[in-house]
Chains A and B, each alone.
Chain A
């Protein structure tokens, strides 16, 4: 019956390969982690999630990611606006360089940022006289998280700004709206879904980030130790239950974030459709 409808061959094979590979590589290993975490006793869970070091690391990972995503929303919007709306020498190059955090290995970003922000680094030595220390403090974590999150906002907002109908802006100014009013009340609302999507993506990436953070963080337990590092530390101490429970908590939050991103993207698409 379905055979008649499908003139194109290969459905069974390709879907079969996809589902098998997806299950073996992603779904079964992830399920194994949840089964392991569920196997831990309530007392274990209680001890882990009330542990001050665990709580501090989760607070740093999630709080830092939230703040970094907020910074990215502002700077990303600015960069996207300038790249889409203005023509200036070097624009192509600037547009290309935005993707750098996607392409640069996180360990390289980590050592590079540390070299820059260490007290004797190019930027660190400028900040030191002001009494600001970035490397080896929670501020360093924030810098690394902001670095890796920047492209997400720029890349989600750019197409919306590019597709925005010039007539709507013209109508607003013809009707007497000031430029500022047009930007705040006409353009920004149209870009809001994309901005929210970019924010959520940057947040999701920063929460789990490891490589670019651990070099610059200093990794003081309870102060500048991120949750992914605590998982690694627990593994190295053969505390498999501790590592698994923290991982399960992070995964649950990530999956909720994924649902939020999906809902945002649907909103984003309907907005794009209207424009």
Chain B
């Protein structure tokens, strides 16, 4: 007990530090969240519901759901393939591959959109060809999907790779020796071991996919009712000084963020043992 006190701060110091840390969190994190909700209902609940159920807002919600429904499964399949290759095998250039998978995290979202404009836009490499074939990528849904895939690319893989590396290869090798094929090995041996990490990766991927702003804003063209996702709808309403409308849509996205955080923490709380060591807290 004596050692304990020698190795910690005095009671007063402890509470000062706790208070300071909580003040930082309240000021930077809780207050913005509270501001969104307060502004959304500033003119009463009926106004709020009218804003949320407006035609443009509903089509923005629909588009956001469609984009996430394509981008998340695509990155899920990729993430599983990439972590299988990286964690279960040795090959030259592996560390470079892992670095490249994380690459989108260090690219500005605006640039993630720009690269597709340079590829598929009218001034881009494939632009004239696409125009001749009556296909639109930029200022249309395919461009929004591509930009979203770019920015959410690493989420699943980076959640799985450390865990699958930690778990080693013995179980898969045993399954293979006993004659199980690749898919059977994955679904009956590997998946049960990594399902919670996979879920965490999908949750984070989905939150980013639905909330992405910069990359999508560059490729969307902001056509109301057609190429506006929810975050873009927030911007448009805000710039039109429809503050209640903007914050009403923003509150839906904030709710999505809170649900994601709650689900992620529930996984960590109840199934923390089955996440990679670095991911537990």
Contact = CB atoms under 8 A, between A and B. Distances in A.
Interface of A: 6-11, 13-15, 17-19, 21-22, 25-30, 32-33, 36, 75, 78-79, 81-83, 85-86, 88, 90, 92, 94-109, 111-113, 115-116, 121-123, 146-147, 150, 155, 158-159, 162, 166, 169-170, 173, 179, 182, 204-205, 207-211, 215, 227-229, 231-232, 235, 238, 240, 243-244, 247, 250-251, 254-255, 257-258, 261-262
B97 interface: yes
Contacts, number: 291
Task: Sort A-B residue pairs by CB-CB distance and give the 10 closest, nearest first.
Answer: A208-B108, A105-B211, A210-B214, A211-B213, A29-B115, A10-B182, A112-B32, A9-B182, A82-B21, A103-B257
Interface in B251-266: 253-254, 256-258, 260-262, 264-265
A103 B6 CA distance: 39
B33 A104 contact: yes
B181 interface: yes
B150 A25 contact: yes
B207 A33 contact: no
A173 B99 CA distance: 41
A113 B213 contact: no
A26 B103 contact: yes
B119 A14 contact: no
Interface of B: 3, 6-9, 14, 17-18, 20-22, 24-25, 27-33, 35-36, 39, 77-78, 81-82, 84-85, 88-89, 91, 97, 99-111, 114-119, 123-125, 146, 149-150, 153, 169, 172-173, 176-177, 181-182, 185-186, 204, 207, 210-214, 217-218, 230-232, 234-235, 238, 243, 246-247, 250, 253-254, 256-258, 260-262, 264-265, 269, 277-278, 281
Contact of B91 (A13, A15, A97, A231): A15
Contacts of A13: 81, 182
B89 A6 contact: yes
Contacts of A250: 108, 111
Given A97-B261, A231-B110, A105 B210 contact: yes
A115 B108 contact: no
A232 B108 CA distance: 12
Given A33-B111, A158-B281, A208-B110, A150 B35 contact: no
B254 A104 contact: yes
Contacts of B262: 96
Contact of A108 (B7, B123, B231, B265): B231
Given A250-B108, A262-B99, A11 B85 contact: yes
Given A100-B33, A101-B29, A30 B115 contact: yes
